[in-house]
A and B are shown apart, each in its own frame.
Chain A
Amino acid sequence: MIPAKKRLNTLNEHWEVLALLFKRFKMVDFSIKDLQNAIKQKQPTWNNERIYKETNRLLNQEIIIPLAKSSQLEINRDIADFATFLLQEEHLGLAQEISVLVDDLARLGNRLSNAGEIEDFDDLRRFSRIMDDRVRKIIKLFLHNENAILNIVEQAKSNNAIQSLQKRYKAVIEAFDEYIEPMLEMVDIRGDFHACFTLIEQQISTQIEHIERSGKAYSDKRMLEQLRTRILEMHLIGRESLRKSADMLMPLREELRRNNLITRQAAKVLSLIRKNGVDNMLSAVQPHFVSDAQKYSLGQQRHIVAYMASLAEFEHHEYQLPEQDDVPAFVTPNIPDYQDVKAQFAKRFKKQRKKPQPLLQFLDESYPELEADEMLFLYQKLVSDNTLHISQSDKKARINIAGQHFSLYPFNSEPQADKAEHE
């Protein structure tokens, strides 16, 4: 047994080397030469003897271990996991990892339920513990994957245009296809995940009820309740984590899609331009700019040449006479003969009247079928006829005839006394 403290000291001393190995080789194996080179790179002042000694120290303390039946080496898995945690160098797991654990959870749920039915409390406790362990693992995976996605996103965003587009987004697309989409399907409210948890929750609740009713193994009740809470929590954490991950990846994926679309379109348009010419292809879509300065200036010589050229081709539009049928037929105005109107007027105002009578009112009453303009025509004829006795009012009045409103100083018939004299 190697004392923990001793190992920690070695880890501390060689942390730089380990981090380098970890970054360079990820999870694959490497040779003893690679290890020594790594040490030399980090400690350039050490001589070969010292490097050899330190290499052995790492091997003896099982921080670096040889692969079975090979001269290759690898970082001890437990140390690698620890390093993963320390370096936040997390790799995105597969959705299947989680779904396997969830399936296992469902199986354990059934066993737990069976154990409860036959009142085998040892088994009940055992399964509950295992389930608890699985739930923790799932939660860990969720968080781990969330961190991994954060790393992917940061990598894709960082480091500008130098990196190739393909490479930059490969990880994003993979993360989406391998993890986010299948997971989202799983945690969907109608998905397997949800159904499974509902079932397990029911099973556990039944057991809790059973314990409450029978009073047996009362100490296990709390354990089951905790398990149930943890499963519920796991579900929530999972959904939250997936939502966050999808939110982080989505903009990148959209960007990628749009970029692909633009690149493809640019290639297509350029090929069309090569075939048909720049002006033919782009004239219809080119953005326009205001250019007042140009609008009002004469322009360069070639503009004037172009203008003259278009003048030479100028043709008058031929004037087309309207067809016979297009002309609307003449409608005679429906005005009664003026002499009749005059006679009517004279007859109406022959009788004694003390007050002057408005002319328009007379017209409106006598010829209700006339249009307003026709009525005004008669009005002005009557007004300008100097054989009639009328006078203009000096008060402005609003008059309504044939549905139209007029505002005018109306002419009225003069009181009859005068009129009688003249006649």
Chain B
Amino acid sequence: MTMTQINLDALSHLQAINKKLVAGYHICEQDTLMWQELDQQIEAYSALFTALGHDLKHDSRGFYYFASDESTPNMGKISRAIALTIYILIEHFANTGKDPMRALFDEPNDLELMQTLVQLNKHLFDQLEIFSGSDLRKDVYLRMVRLGLAREVENGFMLQAPIHRYIDALMEVNEETFLGEDEQ
């Protein structure tokens, strides 16, 4: 990409976009204004962010984010909690005879569902210090909203396109990705 000049005046949402992206937020189609501007000015934004040392990624499934190859310990923990929740959701939907991928994005996740998930997988959520549906809401769902992975709706939360990152990660897990105690 050769970009001789970036017209900053044309990037009217630069400040908002930057603020969101540096905080780990994923901008997707639901964020209409920022999404449209990124979509239209992608060359300028890409060049600008690259020069600032960021790696702006556009995922064709409909979201933009700053790629990173490591997380702070806290972020890492959050990310694992999100991953676990998503995988449990998939299993739960499949067990209840639903099309998991469709239900994942089409069904609002309400508190009742969260309680069910925690009850059914107590052993797993205990490891993440999540003991109740409202813990799950606070520690996972609200954080997903802050990262742009979900949005809050009237009766719960709807998951959004960036969840695909977790599904990609799911497909990568196998015996070799297991880290023994000594490697931690």
Contact = CB atoms under 8 A, between A and B. Distances in A.
B13 interface: no
Contacts of A300: 74
Contacts of A261: 171
A27 interface: no
Interface string A277-314: 11111111111111111110001100100100000000
A263 interface: yes
Contacts of A28: none
A299 B73 CA distance: 10
B140 to A, nearest CB: 13
A263 B91 contact: yes
A160 B54 contact: no
A140 interface: no
B175 to A, nearest CB: 7
B80 A259 contact: no
B177 interface: yes
A274 B124 contact: yes
B48 interface: no
A209 to B, nearest CB: 58
B148 to A, nearest CB: 10
A258 interface: yes
A272 interface: yes
B23 A270 contact: no
B170 A269 contact: yes
Nearest to A268: B173
Contacts of B165: 287
B72 A294 contact: yes
B68 A290 contact: yes
B87 A289 contact: no
A160 B65 CA distance: 30
B100 A262 contact: yes
Given A259-B101, A270-B88, A286-B83, A265 B171 contact: yes
Interface string A249-273: 0000001001101110111111011
Contacts of B170: 262, 265-266, 269, 285
Contacts of A161: 93, 98-99, 102-103, 106-107
B107 A290 contact: no
B44 to A, nearest CB: 20
Contact of A286 (B54, B79, B128): B79
The size bracket of the interface on A is: 35 or more
A168 B99 contact: yes
Contact of A280 (B21, B76, B184): B184
A276 interface: yes
- Which of A259, A272, A290 is the most central at the interface, judged by chain B CB atoms within 10 Å of its CB? A290
Nearest to A165: B99
Contacts of A268: 173
Contacts, number: 155
Contacts of B171: 261-262, 265
A166 interface: yes
B131 interface: no
Given A164-B98, A290-B21, A279 B73 contact: no
Nearest to B66: A290
Contact of A291 (B54, B75, B124, B166): B75
Given A161-B107, A165-B97, A295-B72, A277 B127 contact: yes
Nearest to B26: A289
Contacts of A164: 97-98
A306 B167 CA distance: 31
Contact of A281 (B65, B73, B75, B173): B173
Contacts of B23: 290-293
Given A287-B166, A293-B23, A274 B123 contact: yes
B94 interface: yes
B10 to A, nearest CB: 25
A160 B21 CA distance: 33
A272 B69 CA distance: 24
A167 to B, nearest CB: 8
A135 B180 CA distance: 68
Nearest to A276: B178
B32 interface: no
Contacts of A279: 80, 127, 179, 184
B169 interface: yes
A272 B94 CA distance: 18
- Which of B80, B167, B168, B180 is the most central at the interface, judged by chain A CB atoms within 10 Å of its CB? B80
Contacts of B76: 283, 286, 288
Interface of B: 21-24, 54, 65-76, 79-80, 83-84, 87-88, 90-91, 93-94, 97-103, 106-107, 123-124, 127-128, 147, 165-173, 175, 177-181, 184
Given A161-B93, A289-B75, 20 more contacts: A164-B97, A168-B99, A259-B99, A259-B101, A263-B91, A263-B100, A266-B170, A269-B173, A273-B87, A278-B124, A279-B179, A281-B177, A281-B178, A285-B170, A286-B83, A287-B83, A287-B169, A290-B54, A295-B72, A303-B74
22 contacts: A161-B103, A165-B97, A261-B171, A262-B101, A262-B167, A269-B87, A270-B87, A280-B184, A281-B173, A281-B178, A282-B169, A286-B76, A286-B169, A287-B79, A287-B168, A288-B76, A289-B68, A290-B68, A291-B75, A292-B23, A303-B74, A306-B73
